[in-house]
A and B are shown apart, each in its own frame.
Chain A
């Protein structure tokens, strides 16, 4: 039954990406006045309501970024695992590549969480 649970996780994280991703895309791409580009507004470091630092310092937005990180990592790593299985079949290299993918996923989550925490704690 394990494959069914992995696929349910794939669907659930996909929907999670839709929700958290919508928040992220809204913050970066839909909160600036129409005459500017995002380089002058949401991609400024500070001093604007939705600039980079204020977004990381806001607890709810930082949590949604963390949710997006976890959901995207799980969804992407599982998707790549499926492609590896379908290309290489049940041979030994598949297990090795799956372990590499899980390691990569763990690194991405840890490194991304570090970024969010460091930015959140800047005074």
Chain B
């Protein structure tokens, strides 16, 4: 196919408070991604279209959006693999839209801060001025390594059905980060995080719908981390 129709959900607050759909025709070359198509539209057809992107190689996590209803990284999806000549591009769900395809991700990042997703040690003075490395065995590393591959793109947060109905729910990405630090053998803040996570808006609102893991571009599997966090909350803190 040599042409593809992009139907983009646009929102331009200076003009109107309502969103609208705009259609653009994009010539397709072999190997083009959705992001290439959007950049073509921005350069040649409609230069007021707002998109967020950076690395173009699925490592920065900036270009998250919904293509044909499913959350993807725009730079990661080739137009040829969509097997259609007409696609619908929409911004991610569960975040307020700033303009067109750009969303405000503050909510997710504030939940990360709320859950203390950093290494907590009792001896803060020693942590600031360490005498040596914190050593870790390979088995201890593998317990949380998968969850440290997160690029914070927000696709899982957008796909989660619970976040869309209950915005206070902490969400797959913050909960996964909380587990990543709780499972880290160097961390000593597990009881503090578990108190926050064992709440009405915490781990109990996850129902294992698995959509987060399905859309994750890095194979991080947040659903697995939340069930493991649940196990920790149910069976008590047994150390990291």
A/B: CB atoms within 8 Å of each other? yes
Residues 76-119 of A, flagged 1 when their CB comes within 8 A of B and 0 if not, give 00000010011101100000000000000000000000000000
Cβ 8 A contact of A89, one of B168, B198, B204: B168
B114 touches A (CB below 8 Å): no
Contact check, B198 vs A86: say whether CB atoms are below 8 A apart. Answer: no
> Would A86 and B162 be within 8 Å (CB), given that A3-B198, A3-B202, A4-B198 are in contact?
yes
A7 touches B (CB below 8 Å): yes
Contact check, B234 vs A89: say whether CB atoms are below 8 A apart. Answer: no
Contact check, B234 vs A8: say whether CB atoms are below 8 A apart. Answer: yes
> Would A4 and B168 be within 8 Å (CB), given that A85-B200, A86-B162 are in contact?
no
B167-200 residues at the A interface, CB under 8 angstroms: 167-169, 195, 198-200
B84 touches A (CB below 8 Å): no
Residues 139-177 of B, flagged 1 when their CB comes within 8 A of A and 0 if not, give 000000000000000000000001001111100000000
Looking at chain A, what size class is its interface with the partner chain?
10 to 19
| Number of A-B pairs, beta carbon distance below 8 Å | 30
A1 touches B (CB below 8 Å): yes
Q: How many B residues have CB within 8 A of the partner chain?
A: 15
B205 touches A (CB below 8 Å): yes
Residue of A nearest to B233 (CB): A4
> Would A87 and B200 be within 8 Å (CB), given that A4-B233, A8-B234 are in contact?
no
B95-119 residues at the A interface, CB under 8 angstroms: none
Residues 1-28 of B, flagged 1 when their CB comes within 8 A of A and 0 if not, give 0000000000000000000000000000
A1-17 residues at the B interface, CB under 8 angstroms: 1, 3-4, 7-8
Residue of B nearest to A6 (CB): B204
Set of chain B residues within 8 Å of A8, measured between Cβ atoms: 234
> Would A87 and B165 be within 8 Å (CB), given that A3-B204, A4-B233 are in contact?
yes
Residues 195-221 of B, flagged 1 when their CB comes within 8 A of A and 0 if not, give 100111010110000000000000000
Set of chain B residues within 8 Å of A4, measured between Cβ atoms: 198, 204, 233-234
Cβ 8 A contact of B165, one of A1, A3, A86: A86
Cβ 8 A contact of A86, one of B202, B205, B233, B234: B205
- What's the Cα separation between A110 and B200 when bound, in Å? 29
Minimum Cβ distance to chain A for residue B195 (Å): 8
Interchain Cβ contacts under 8 Å between A and B, 7 examples: A1-B198, A3-B198, A4-B233, A86-B166, A87-B166, A89-B166, A90-B200
